[in-house]
Structure 1
Amino acid sequence: MSDKPKRPHHVYTLLVEVGRKPGDGLPDGSSGAALMCYASGVDEEEAVRETVAILKQADMAVLEVSGYGSLEEREEEGHDIADDERALMARALDENSVVVAQTTVFREGDDREAGA
């Protein structure tokens, strides 16, 4: 048995882009989605690994993950973090889990790659 102290967990904000896969639960006619997630981990790499693993178990086709840092890092950068967002982050930390806070569905023909 190891007596090493447990490393503290933090909550990381991740944007996950998913494509289509049978059984993914996305609406008919959609080409994929972006999922805003809050994930607990000792570091961002662990939070990403756990998020990808959970989404794959849910039959989601993960294409790309972008990390926006921990709550502390976001605060240091001056991000405005609403109370409801903080509550979801606290839930992810308390449950040592991944919380999908928002889903934006992409439809065929969406012009998301081209700049505005």
Structure 2
Amino acid sequence: MSKPKRPHHVYTLLVEVGRRAGDGLPDDASGAALMCYASGVDEDEAVRETVAVLKTADLSVLEVTGYGTLQEREAEGHDIDAEERALMDRALEENSVIVAQTTVFREE
């Protein structure tokens, strides 16, 4: 007897990364922030999957901040454009983690 599959949702995550050899960040970067859309049955699973994927890319994850699902963000009044919705749909369809934006940090 198999358990019924729990529905997946897409979570918006902001991931802060530090430096690690081979991370692909510019030489003068001190780290970066990555806006990600990750599929999971709950936010904890989405965070675990995102961290695992980023570690395979030799990124050093320092902190993850969750902003919830599309429905939760809409309820909070977030303005979500068509491009962002399309990336969320893709993450759900592919059961994947999508890095939508990278902001590099540089020491001044």
TM-score by length of 2: 0.98
User: Considering only CA atoms, is the larger Rg found in Structure 1 or Structure 2?
Assistant: 1
Aligned residue in 2 for 1:114: none
Superposed CA RMSD in Å reads 0.7
Structure 2: gaps (5+ residues)? none
Question: Paired residues, what number?
Answer: 108
Greater mean deviation of Cα atoms: 48-57 or 74-83: 74-83
Aligned residue in 2 for 1:98: 97
Structure 1: gaps (5+ residues)? 110-116
Q: Report the CA distance between 1:57 and its aligned residue.
A: 0.5
Alpha-carbon distance in 2 for matches of 1:106, 1:77: 28
3-state SS, counterpart of residue 86 of structure 1: helix
Moved over 3 A (4+): none
1:49 aligns with 2:67: no
Q: Report the CA distance between 1:52 and its aligned residue.
A: 0.1
Query: Sequence identity, in percent?
Result: 80
Alpha-carbon distance in 2 for matches of 1:65, 1:94: 23
Aligned residue in 1 for 2:70: 71
Question: Which residues in structure 2 correspond to 1:1-116 (within 5 Å)?
Answer: 2-109=1-108
